[in-house]
Chains A and B, each alone.
Chain A
Amino acid sequence: MNFKYLKLTFVFVSIVIFTLLALPEFNIKVNGTEIDYKAVDFGTVGIDAKFSSFEKSSDLFPSTRIRVEANFDTEMSQEEKENALEKMMQVYIDRIDYKARFDDIKIQTLSSEEFNGFVFVVPERYEFPEETVEWITGKGEINFTGSILNASLDDSEITNSYFDDEIGVEVSQNAYDYARFPTLVYEFKDKEDDIATIANGGYAGIDLTVDGRDFEFVAHETKDNAIRIQAIFDGEESQITNELYIDYLKIVESYLEDDVLEYSVNIINVSSEAPLYNPEGASFIGITFILGLVVVAFAILIKKGSSAFVTYVLSSTSLILLTIVIAKMFKIDLSVTAILTFVMIFVLTTVFIIEAINNINKDNINKILRNLLNLSIVSLFISYFIITFLISQDSRVASVDTMFRTIFTFNLATIILVNLNLKFILQLYTAKRENSFLLIKRRK
């Protein structure tokens, strides 16, 4: 049975799907008709990834520069102020690094006789940069009181507290809120009776404030003697997204790790920070990269003929597009490190593809693909190990994180394609070359 057309259809259909997923959001006008390409969203099937645009890093795209001033006592000496700033900086870094969610926010201490404070450079991906900085720099004062009929819950009785990002478990009459946002969970030892009282509808009120923000009780769990609470956002903040809410709760959770800060800060200036490199650079690199591919493709066309040209174009296109799709899924920042890493692995893989094109023998092609697969699997495991066990422990190295996430992404794309598109394309190419070879022989 000849699967030639089936394979060819599969390759083209997959390239079309990858293109749709890889395309950024855009809006163009053609002859008065407006074409608005929206992001492909798989939220309905439970995949939390919007296939719109890359997350933009601060080295290639403008960021928000927020300057905050520390409220020190006037009688403090400059040396004392600098020591206090150092301590505050360490706490902020701990909060930023906590669970490695904000590691792309840069922080710098600024001190002089006239000004003592910090500068936060927040990348474009943060929808609420000022709020995020306010949360990070919060004093971390958590006041907890709970009234349960004739008893009370006190924060000194909290034995365990954690952040639960699971959403949608309906356990109480407040199911709507609970389903909408994740929760902070507080467990109480030796409070079985009190939690049971809450379970029977006997709670009078739980009052928890974090730096002045009210939290509300949403659910209880008698099994773990725990209560679940959520923050209340008013005004503009009520438009908060689920993702941002998770960010906030992670910062609040990090408050539990350190002592309450002695000094508060005020935002005194918000401005735009120009990127480290030329902002037009990303587009230029993109165009140069495509031109480079075209040059290589034409070189192959001249040297090896049209079937080798088509093989190269289809293989490279599949690889680039699927890598972009997976990179968006894993929320990799579009940064210089990501570009450099992508270039390195892509060039390496291109050499593999060209070597495969040079080998007409079917067995050789299988060997080359097997080698590519083995190397990709090894690289995937190394990068996964580094991302999971090293970088998550210490996230001050955002560039390394991006580097190994890119390696992971590319290798994942390669592993998928070696068994599908690359295999089919090279099989079709081999069949075509062998047929033409036999044809020449017969003619002779």
Chain B
Amino acid sequence: MLNKLLKHDFKATGQVLLPLYGGVSILVLLYIFGWRMVEHLQASALLAGIPRWLAAVGGLFGFLSVLGVLALFICCMVVNILRFYRLLGDEGYLMFTLPVTAAQQLASKLIVAVSWTVGGILLVFLYGFAMAVPLPGSAPMEVYPVPGITTLQLAGALALAALVALAGIACGFLFVYLCCAVGGQWPQHRLVASVASFFIIQFVLQVALMVVMGVAAFGEVTTGWLSGISLNVYNLFNNSLAAVIYAMLGCILLIMVVFGGIVWAVTNHFLSKKLNLA
């Protein structure tokens, strides 16, 4: 059933996001194409200087491209949050009477939201690549080595960083879903309750984080336990910079997975055991 939900959710969000992604891509790629063309003409001495009007058009296109990319991510976020929010409104009367579990509903919304966001990020990488790829006849792209780390280790670190980013995106959406689910407990004031939940839960989490950091800092000052652990980790991995980066990213990933797991479980509990559609 999850694949059917995914099909339905991708189709619904795609109606809004596909034209937007397509439009922004055309705009940005047109800008990059023009920019690269001017660059090529200048390199081949066919164009001595950039005329004022061309610079103005280029600047306008560049500005619109940046706005377009910003709009792409904002719309992606808003569309996906609204899709979940509406699940607890009139659309819930259809979606929650389908023979699927609350966890499947949640999974579908999350996978779709993360996929569109990752799709947007990949597009930005594509724009970056289109801007940086060397023109025919120009010097090839140089890759500068990072001291103390091999290319393979760097690739591993980047892959781990990508996983951390993916977990971060998923946690972000899950957190907003949780706030919507909590807000859904007050069906008559759902929007206000959802927004209030967002700020209250965030405040509580920040206070909790500050307390944990305060305790950790106090422990570090009095016993030096944190430095001890750091040194032990460094020694454990034979003073390898890559291993330390892996350990750090691994810890962040673990924290995100645990946080995301808790938020998922609580949201799923609200959807399956405390559902109260107005």
Say whether A and B bind each other. Answer: no
Chain B: residues with CB nearer than 8 A to chain A?
A: none
